[in-house]
Structure 1
Amino acid sequence: MPGLIIGDQHDDLTSAVQQIILSSSESDYLDQLIPLLRNAHTQTQVTPLIHALNHVSADREAEIERICNTNHQEFISSVQQLQSVREGTVTLTSEIMELSRSIEASTEKLAEQKKALVDSRGVRQNIDDATQALKDCLEVLRLANQVHDLLGKKNHYAALRALDELQNVHLREVTRYKIAEMIERSVPATQGLIAEAVMTDLNTWLYRIRETSQFLGEVAFYHTEMRRARQKERAANDEYLATAKLNSPVELVADEVEEFDVLNNDEVQVDFSPLFECLHIHDALGQTDKFRSDYAATRRRQKDLLVPQTLDLLDEESAGLSSLLEGIAGFAIVEKATMAKTENFRAQTDVDELWDSMCQSAIALISSALPKVTNDDALLKIKGVIALFIQTMDSWNYPVTALDGLLLTLFEKYSNVLKTRFSEDFTEIVNTDDYMPMPIANAEEYTRVLSVSFYTPPPNPETGLEERAEDLEYPCVLPFSQMYPLVCIDIRNFLTQIYLFSDDQYFRHTTVIDNTLKEMLDDLLMNNFITLLTDRLKSQYPGQIVQILTNLDHFEAACSDIEDLLVSARSSSSAAGPISLRATTAFTTAKTQAEKRVFELVNSKIDDLIETAEYDWLSTYVPEGVSLYMQELTRYLQNIMTSVLMGLPYTIKDMMFYTALEHIGENLLSLPLDPEIIKISSQAAEAYVMDVGHIVSFVEGLDEADRPQVLLEALEELRQTTDLITLAAEGKGEMFFDSSIAGPRFGKVDKLKGAELLEKVEARRSLTAMGSVGGLGGGSGLSPTMAGGGGFEEGHAKKASTTLGDFRDRFGQFGRRG
């Protein structure tokens, strides 16, 4: 079994060896040998293979030897030939080898050259590629540098366009290079540089705008002043245009021919290009909202810088206020222009908010500084600046309602300052007046007094016409004191200065001016002037009181002219109807007080004189002349007629003298009616009648101009009473009780008083006839006090209440003296 295996294996190896031998190449040989070697795992397995190879080799040698032995000569020849061929082959091989070496050398050189050529072509291609890449990168770098150059030249928009072109066009061509990535990373930073640079320029522009705002406002104010002047000139030439206010449609149309650009003129030019460029660049960068908010914040900060912490309104030129309002005006004009020149950039609410804030700050600043201003001229200048500011901003369609309120506050301050000043003037006029009729030296002075006062001279009694200044004789006197024209001048000045607040300037609240003027004028006259005059009524000098009364009468008459003046000067076109001053009634009341005071002083003097009367009602002799007290009394009446009462208007003068005579009559009548007097002798009655007759004769002897017939009515009761006493002394007293006689003759005599006097005189006459003399009359020589008795006090109190109105009611039929 082993031998069989070996035998089989031998046969296999033999066949394998045969195949190896028959292989055409070494590779085939190895292909046959490798499986055998792979399967020969042990030495015992390799040995048969070796034996098989040896066996095959031996067979081949045996066959060769056999062949050689058979063809030996031919073999030798063949060997020689083979050797010869071999030699030739060796020679050829040498030559071939030499040629091969030569070819190999040439081939190496050619390969080197070809390699060099290939390398040079690659290098050249690389150079070309590098050159092109370098060109592309250089172009990118050039554009990047161009962006910075344009940025340095402040061509911000061109720089942004170049950067956009660089990013969207040129960088795409060099994306494979690292420089593209570097530049791409630098684009946002460059955009930031552009945005920062344009914002820097914008901030510079905003700073210049802030510095220019005041001058811009000044130019705008000047333009408004020119419009005012042109409108005033048009109003002077055309009544219709006179009703048109500044900034009204009519005025705007009429002024169209005068073109003026506040933002671009010979004085100031405001270029909005930096703003437009900045807005455009931020729009291109997609940062419009951010830029809008940053710009708004910057303008708010600039707005805060416009308003100072304090304001001095005491400057005569109002420079501080002008600077403040000019700055606000320029700032607001720029805001309006920005809105008009851009679209959806500045919101209306933002602009209105800035305007309201500036207005409120300015109003607060002005209001806080206003209490220090106490000069009306300074207030007018302040009002002029504010009015100019309002009219300027109104032309730019800014709301000015809050500023209207400031003008109202300013007018209230102005009117109070005027009121204080004129109140001081009135006090000085009252305190420095001489309370004497005003002397006039010449016609020029007379005309000047008439022009400033509300006095109308009485007509000439002969012609009935008002006398011309040239026809009067100088020097002359006017009935009022110098107080009257001075106060009239002050009233006119007060009216003029009140209306100066709205004269030819902006002020919408004209009704407030009209009402304030009336109320303040009333208050000045009532609570200042009239009060001062009534305080002067405490004087003990009748002449001074009479002059005050004369002045009050003229002021009362002047009130009507003042009311007409207020109506004609009224600034409100919508107001209508008459104006009534409460001062008219106050003057009337003050006149009544003055009249009472004159009554008191005159009657007091009359009482003092009558109290000196010393009648011996039981006297048995008749005095030779009129009593001394009666002489003094008539002399006093003459004096007051020719001096004290001379300056009074005729009606008041007549009333005064009439009342004085009436008071004299009552006091004289009270003397014999004294309850302590029981009997009156006929001699005493005759003396009494003589004294009464003296005063009656005095009145009757007055000039017709004094109308003695009217004045005698004041003594009528006294006259009829003395007539009754005379009849009683003659024993004819019964006639008093005869109605047919007593009615016409004793109608004014009180029945009880008449009967009492008859009883006293008749009783004394009866006693005299019976020879009973002395001791029954209750004493002779009455004291002055007793002579006056209670009748004087009663009469004094009664006549002190007599007024001019009562006199006019009773004697109005006589009219005013011609």
Structure 2
Amino acid sequence: MPASKGSRNAVSSAVQQIVLSPSDADYLDQLIPAIKDAAHSNRTAQLLQGLSQFADNHESEIEGVCNTNHQEFVNSVNQLLQVREGTVRLTSEILDLNQSIQASTEKLAEHKKALVDSRSVRQNIDEAAQALEDCLEVLRLTNHVHDLLATKNHYAALRALDELQNVHLREVPQYKIAEMIQKSVPAIQKLIAEAVMTDLKTWLFRIRETSQFLGEVAFYHTELRRTRQKERAEKDPFFRNFKLNSAMDLVSDETDEFDVLDNDEVQVDFSPLFECLHIHEALGESEKFRAEYAATRRQQKDLLLPTSIRLVGDDEGGSLSALLESIAGFAIVERATMKKAFNLRSTVDVDELWDSMCQSAINLITQSLPDIDDADALLKIKGVIALFIQTMENWGYSVAALDSFLLTLFDKYAELLKQKFSRDFLEIVSADDYMPMPIQTSEEYEKVVNVSWYTPEKEQSDISFPCVLPFSQMYPLCCIDIRNFLNQFYFFSDDHFQHPSVIDETLKKSLDELLAQKVCRLLVDRLSSQYLGQIVQILINLEHFETACVELEQLLLAARSPASAGKSVALNATEEFRSNKKTAEKRIFELVNSKIDDLIETAEYDWMAPAAQTEPSNYIQTLTRYLSNIMSSVLLGLPTEIKELIYFDALSHAATMILALPLSADVPTINRNGVAALALDVQHLSQFVDSLGVPILRENLDELQQTVNLLQSDNSDEYYDVSTRNKKYGRVDPMNGPLLLEKLTQGMQSSGRTDKYTTLSSRFGKK
């Protein structure tokens, strides 16, 4: 097919460029691309034809030139021949080169194809290598997560897992390994959660094991604060108005701040808890973790509490102290956890655990209380509980239940004190000798006066030793016990007790019962004794106990708490001692009168004596000696008014009994000798009374004396004259006077003397 015009023009243009090349190098440079183009476009023949045509045209030009210049033409022909020869040679070379180029082109095409194929393979290899590297990175991170778990770097493991899931796995989602690892992420997260929970449980176990020691350190710190507070109160009485844990106490203790959770003795690291909480928050399981943690703490609380505690035989309160220290340590950790991890523990949860532990502790103590029979042991128990209360109050816990329980302890304590001092009082009263207390030295005297409510009549410097105090030994011993009783009652309010008014009322009631039911009643029971000296001593003791009760009322009033201020204090025992003084006085009257009766019963009057008696009767002399002796010995310690009262009653009774002798139905008649003997005895008794120097006592003998005077009167008729009788015989009983006069008349009649007495007898119609 003939070449198109465009193809011929292109070949001609190429031939022109080849021929017109200024140098051989440019010639070749122009020729080689033309050959390559001809070879690729199958226009080699056209190129050769173009070259031939160019040569032919050039020959024609040469021939024309030669025609004009033969020689030059010949030369040109020769040159042209040479050129032609060269052209032929070049054509041959071009053909060879074309074949060579064509072969090279085929080889190049093969190499290019191989290169393209190798590039594709290499790209695939690169892509595979990159995928393998990405997968290896994923595997490395996965292994790194497990390595971090093995080294307990739980949070770092969780961060690495998060990076793996959210970054690296998203870069290789098309690979099976990514799918497998993605499916294993929840399992790994669960492993992390379980591992961190295992560490947390280990931490919680250590915390539970450390709780008691933590509580012990907290108790010791509270004890130090107590000491500092007492020292401040001793230096400045103003601080006595403020208790431990008050605002003033906390401000004063600011310079002595102490971290119970981090000190030289104990350190509580909350890092495992924070890590666990943080990891569960990152896993979106905060609520689940809070529930598990709360359940675990409840279980630990149950494990913390024993089934029983031992209070008896535990001198140091070890069992109770261990329980309360453990509860304190547990509660302190709970409060610190609530403050450090705001969203983990709520106030309700912590307070609920606290209330439960307090109630359990109260129940355990209550179960063991019946075994306590020693007030001192109960006081130690109260001290441990008070220390526990003050420690936990400083941590913001409610101690209302414990404060209420202290009331139960106080009731038990008060009852034990009453039992103890009841036994002491019984022993003191039973062992007393009921004799005035002898004092040998001034030191002993000072001790007795200091412990007793007793105001001596003389200054100590005016007293010579040895001496005797009016009361018996039981009184100062009871005073000592009373003071101890008061002190031990108020010991319960030391350190911490929120019910001082209860102490005031219970102390008053208990003291009243002890004094009235134990001391006073025991003394009254001993009034049945027949020993006058003992009865007198009991009366003296009763008087001093009455004085002591009055002093105690003032002491209790001064010691009352502000809550009870303004209320008067009146002990029923005061009236008991006062009223039983009358009972003792009556008993003294009974014994003295009984002795008087015994002596008067020994009187042997011969009412119809043939001769007058010149000496007082033996019984009247014995009677006066007896009255004199008891006044100077047995009754000496009694107050003057009581002694006078006893004398008054004794003399009144003696006069009545002496007067009853002639009035007896066994005495039918009396003569003047019998009357003279009675008058002699009455005179002796009157002289004795006058010697006492108490004029009022003489009045007791007025009836007896006037009766004797009547019987000795020469004109007994004047007795029947009202005006005369009121002047001379006003104290004579209207019934006894006539009776005695009748007996005297009958006695005189039986003696043959019937002068005026006969007339008297007929007047009364007597036979």
Place the TM-score, normalised by the shorter chain, in its bin.
0.7 to 0.9
Verify the 8 A CA contact 2:504 2:564 in the aligned structure 1: no
Q: 1:257 is paired with a residue of what secondary structure?
A: helix
Quick one: structure 1 residues 381 and 567, their matched pair in 2 at CA, closer, same or farther if it must change by over 3 Å? Answer: same
User: What's the counterpart of residue 557 of structure 1?
Assistant: 547
Cα distance, 1:767 vs structure 2: 5.5
Q: 1:477 is paired with a residue of what secondary structure?
A: strand
Cα distance, 1:166 vs structure 2: 0.5
User: What's the counterpart of residue 625 of structure 1?
Assistant: 615
Q: Which has the higher contact order (CA 8 A, sep 6+)?
A: 1
Q: What amino acid sits opposite 2:706 in the alignment? A: Q
User: What's the counterpart of residue 751 of structure 1?
Assistant: 734
Cα distance, 1:289 vs structure 2: 0.6
2-side partners of 1:239 and 1:103: how far apart? 123
User: What's the counterpart of residue 277 of structure 1?
Assistant: 275
User: What's the counterpart of residue 87 of structure 1?
Assistant: none
1-side partners of 2:754 and 2:222: how far apart? 111
Q: What do residues 483-533 of structure 1 show as CA deviations (whole Å, max 9, x unaligned)?
A: 110011111110011001112x11011011111111111111111122222
User: What's the counterpart of residue 356 of structure 2?
Assistant: 357
Cα distance, 1:194 vs structure 2: 0.8
Cα distance, 1:615 vs structure 2: 2.1
Cα distance, 1:642 vs structure 2: 2.4
Q: 1:439 is paired with a residue of what secondary structure?
A: strand
Residue number among 578, 586, 589 corresponding to 2:568 in the alignment: 578
Verify the 8 A CA contact 2:439 2:465 in the aligned structure 1: yes
2-side partners of 1:339 and 1:574: how far apart? 40
User: What's the counterpart of residue 497 of structure 1?
Assistant: 488
Q: Which runs of 5+ in 1 are unaligned?
A: 1-101, 459-466, 773-818
User: What's the counterpart of residue 195 of structure 2?
Assistant: 197
User: What's the counterpart of residue 76 of structure 1?
Assistant: none
Correspondence 1:500-649 to 2 at 5 A: 500-503=491-494, 505-649=495-639
Cα distance, 1:111 vs structure 2: 8.4
Verify the 8 A CA contact 1:514 1:572 in the aligned structure 2: no
Q: Is 2:666 the counterpart of 1:680?
A: no
Correspondence 1:326-365 to 2 at 5 A: 326-365=325-364
Q: 1:366 is paired with a residue of what secondary structure?
A: helix
Q: What amino acid sits opposite 2:430 in the alignment? A: N
Cα distance, 1:769 vs structure 2: 5.4
2-side partners of 1:468 and 1:603: how far apart? 37
1-side partners of 2:338 and 2:232: how far apart? 33
Verify the 8 A CA contact 2:508 2:571 in the aligned structure 1: yes
User: What's the counterpart of residue 696 of structure 1?
Assistant: 686
Q: What amino acid sits opposite 1:475 in the alignment? A: P
User: What's the counterpart of residue 155 of structure 1?
Assistant: 153
Verify the 8 A CA contact 2:748 2:754 in the aligned structure 1: no
Q: What amino acid sits opposite 2:469 in the alignment? A: L
User: What's the counterpart of residue 5 of structure 1?
Assistant: none
2-side partners of 1:286 and 1:549: how far apart? 88
User: What's the counterpart of residue 725 of structure 1?
Assistant: 711
2-side partners of 1:218 and 1:354: how far apart? 20
Cα distance, 1:715 vs structure 2: 1.9
Stretch deviating more after TM superposition (580-589 or 242-251): 242-251
Identical-residue share of aligned pairs (%): 62
User: What's the counterpart of residue 441 of structure 2?
Assistant: 442
User: What's the counterpart of residue 715 of structure 1?
Assistant: 701
Verify the 8 A CA contact 1:689 1:722 in the aligned structure 2: yes
Verify the 8 A CA contact 2:451 2:480 in the aligned structure 1: yes
Cα distance, 1:572 vs structure 2: 4.2
Cα distance, 1:281 vs structure 2: 0.7
Residue number among 107, 111, 125 corresponding to 2:123 in the alignment: 125
Quick one: structure 1 residues 745 and 443, their matched pair in 2 at CA, closer, same or farther if it must change by over 3 Å? Answer: farther
Cα distance, 1:282 vs structure 2: 0.3
Correspondence 1:417-428 to 2 at 5 A: 417-428=416-427
User: What's the counterpart of residue 379 of structure 1?
Assistant: 378
Cα distance, 1:739 vs structure 2: 4.5
The TM-score normalised by the length of structure 2 is 0.82
User: What's the counterpart of residue 171 of structure 1?
Assistant: 169
Residue number among 223, 226, 234 corresponding to 1:225 in the alignment: 223
Stretch deviating more after TM superposition (672-681 or 662-671): 672-681
Verify the 8 A CA contact 1:537 1:545 in the aligned structure 2: yes
Verify the 8 A CA contact 2:216 2:325 in the aligned structure 1: yes
1-side partners of 2:487 and 2:750: how far apart? 81
Q: What amino acid sits opposite 1:237 in the alignment? A: K
Q: What amino acid sits opposite 1:390 in the alignment? A: I
Correspondence 1:97-136 to 2 at 5 A: 117-136=115-134
1-side partners of 2:225 and 2:728: how far apart? 86
Stretch deviating more after TM superposition (509-518 or 213-222): 213-222
Q: What amino acid sits opposite 1:360 in the alignment? A: Q
Q: What amino acid sits opposite 1:478 in the alignment? A: L
Cα distance, 1:763 vs structure 2: 4.4
Q: Cα RMSD (Å) of the superposition?
A: 2.3
Cα distance, 1:747 vs structure 2: 2.5
Correspondence 1:447-486 to 2 at 5 A: 447-458=446-457, 467-486=458-477
2-side partners of 1:195 and 1:373: how far apart? 51
Residue number among 474, 479, 483 corresponding to 1:488 in the alignment: 479
User: What's the counterpart of residue 48 of structure 1?
Assistant: none
Q: What do residues 276-314 of structure 1 show as CA deviations (whole Å, max 9, x unaligned)?
A: 111111011010010000000000011111111121113
Verify the 8 A CA contact 1:680 1:761 in the aligned structure 2: yes
2-side partners of 1:512 and 1:771: how far apart? 86
2-side partners of 1:159 and 1:530: how far apart? 84
Stretch deviating more after TM superposition (680-689 or 270-279): 270-279
Cα distance, 1:210 vs structure 2: 1.1
Cα distance, 1:745 vs structure 2: 3.1
2-side partners of 1:650 and 1:631: how far apart? 24
Q: 1:537 is paired with a residue of what secondary structure?
A: helix
Verify the 8 A CA contact 1:511 1:575 in the aligned structure 2: no
2-side partners of 1:334 and 1:621: how far apart? 112
2-side partners of 1:410 and 1:375: how far apart? 12
User: What's the counterpart of residue 742 of structure 1?
Assistant: 725
Cα distance, 1:318 vs structure 2: 0.6
Q: Which runs of 5+ in 2 are unaligned?
A: 1-99, 756-767
Q: What amino acid sits opposite 2:380 in the alignment? A: K
User: What's the counterpart of residue 242 of structure 1?
Assistant: 240
2-side partners of 1:396 and 1:224: how far apart? 11
2-side partners of 1:223 and 1:574: how far apart? 33
